[in-house]
Amino acid sequence: MDRILERSKYLMQFGHWEGDSLVSRKSMVCLNSLVERKSRLLILTKLDRKSVEETSNTVIRRLKDLPVKARRTLTMDNGTENAKHEEITSSLEIKCYFAHPYASWERGTNE
């Protein structure tokens, strides 16, 4: 996160994404959300459970058909579901960043 683009550039250029997981309190059902910072485009996917495999496969599946210039960066939290970030990076040719712990403002669009 320390080396991420300046905020002004980040908002002027399409292709900078924020990812997050939302889990129901009553069940293991999970939503994966991806928000593009400039356009506020939201891609929301229901997952059966919050897992490393399901999260990485979903992110790759949902972003792979976008042009390369529409996949510049992906900023995520430090959750265990994001452990396969290297697989996401290699599959999508996207730079993955992680917000600092307890710094939700670093992913303000998708928090």
Closest CA to 62 of 86, 84, 32, 40: 32
pLDDT of 50 reads 86
Q: How far apart are CA 84 and CA 52, in angstroms?
A: 7
pLDDT of 111 reads 57
pLDDT of 110 reads 54
Q: How far apart are CA 98 and CA 100, in angstroms?
A: 6
Residue 82 has pLDDT above 80, yes or no: yes
Q: How far apart are CA 93 and CA 96, in angstroms?
A: 10
Residue 3 has pLDDT above 90, yes or no: no
Instruction: Classify domain 7-110 at the CATH topology level.
Output: Nucleotidyltransferase; domain 5 (3.30.420)
Q: Where are the domains of the chain?
A: 7-110
Q: What is the CA radius of gyration of the chain?
A: 13
- For range 75-90, the mean pLDDT: 92
Q: With beta carbons less than 8 A apart as the criterion, state whether 88 and 33 touch.
A: no
Tens digit of pLDDT for each residue in 36-57? 999 999 999 999 888 999 999 9
Tens digit of pLDDT for each residue in 18-33? 999 988 887 767 999 9
